[in-house]
Structure 1
Amino acid sequence: MLVDSHCHLDFPDFEAERADVIARAVAAGVGRMVTISTRVRRFPDILKIAESFDEVYCSVGTHPHNAHEELDITADQLVALAEHPKVVAIGEAGLDYFYDHAPREAQAQGLRTHIEAARRTGLPLVIHARNADDDMADILEDETGKGPFPFILHCFSSGAELARRGVALGGYVSFSGILTFKNSSELRGIAKTVPTDRLLVETDAPYLAPMPHRGKRNEPAFVANTAQVLAETIGLGADEIARITTDNVFRLFKKMPRPADVDG
């Protein structure tokens, strides 16, 4: 069994065939999918999808691109929404200095609000970090000093130092289809340095389809391709990396139940 720890099933790309996409994932051995919130004000749409499919769970939060639009969303509100049994994570929140769609101060403020919610709920914070390695690591270290909280550096494409500092704080590192790209040798080198008990795989669907699907719309079934490359990168078999990453998911996403037929 594999788990797609990060996808966006509410996006318009899947509107016409969402049930088929989920069915293909299940047929490919993907037993759980976490569909990730990008705007709290659209959370009802995310929750409806999670409630409609046994294999799908969700998060609640505001993407850094939209941070300035939802600065009025409080940690109390996030905590309250996270009480729903289908909500297993906070976020995604973070820092994106590549696009800078939101003022950096707003991104940092939103990130700290989400950290507070993750700390209070014990749910993992899904972190988006792009071109912001130093500031991200500094905020994580500062906030961990106020009290630990679980987190994932999702769709990891940052530098080795952020991975090192994140793991040192207890964080997990999730790899997407980027890991499979021919020009990602440096990223594969970083993957080798991450302890196996901190590794996750994801699609970030509909984006970043792994080889050999690159250039197509991504979907949760394709997480198997990323898992295969991760296995080859760190010198393990496909079955072993599936077991490791799945165990890691259920250790981190404590509210998300394992399927009844999966040991662990």
Structure 2
Amino acid sequence: MEEELKIKSKEFQKWRKELSNCKELFAAAFDELHNILLEISKNNDRPVKRHYDYPRLKIQANGFPQFYPQSWIDENAPINYMSLIRSESFLADAFGIRRSDLEFPLANRFADFLRGHNIGKKLGLKPDPVDGNYYNRPVEKLIESAVERYIQIYGLKKEINCKNRTTIISPLIRSLIQEEYFVSLIVPITLTNFDANHFQLTPSSYVFRMPKNLQLSRGILNSVGSGTEKCVVSAATHAFLSNGWSVYGDQFSDITKSLAQHSDSIIHEIDRFLEL
């Protein structure tokens, strides 16, 4: 029993060290990309791109929302800061192709660490089946998403606020190590007006008025396969929410596939709500 406890203690200490190294390397790669963006923005001679796919929300006379896409030249759309490090290739944004004159040694070091430790297995950093080379795009996307969110919230400034940076990267690190991912089932209710902002149905489910941020997140969803027009799908002020759901997966790709699959349990839950 004592020997077993010693083994578990050693494993725990090893895991803590691995987690600590992961946090340090992630923060270093984060700062590297942030500082590169800051430097480029000072001397940039190319037009700064906007998030053309960022939706615009308009409330119609009947009270229902309607979404419209932004355009490349819309000055009200958020700046696409990652476009500063993209090549001028037509497919650069779609495939994350970076400028050849930029180097990211700290990001590469972080990718090497994740590739060689269990904490990075969910990213699926395997060699390419064609040429056998390793590609760091999953790690680059992880770093870019963190830096983009940080800048959109706090701005692109010279000094990086360590507390704010930790607020951004901590959930991403947790996503690498947790085994179970808790999710909420949210079903927008179209073409129906409700007077209440919140109506409890059961201890784990309720109808609620969707806030603007949630509405905007719906704005980029494709209505293909829904069986109706996008304008009808958009016309929802409230949604049915059910808690207590979770998904598992050894890799992020497994989790994505799981969320996209048909589920009889979810259909039953929705049908049960509609019968109330």
TM-score normalised over the length of structure 1: 0.25
Structure showing greater radius of gyration is 2
What is the TM-score with the length of structure 2 in the denominator? 0.24
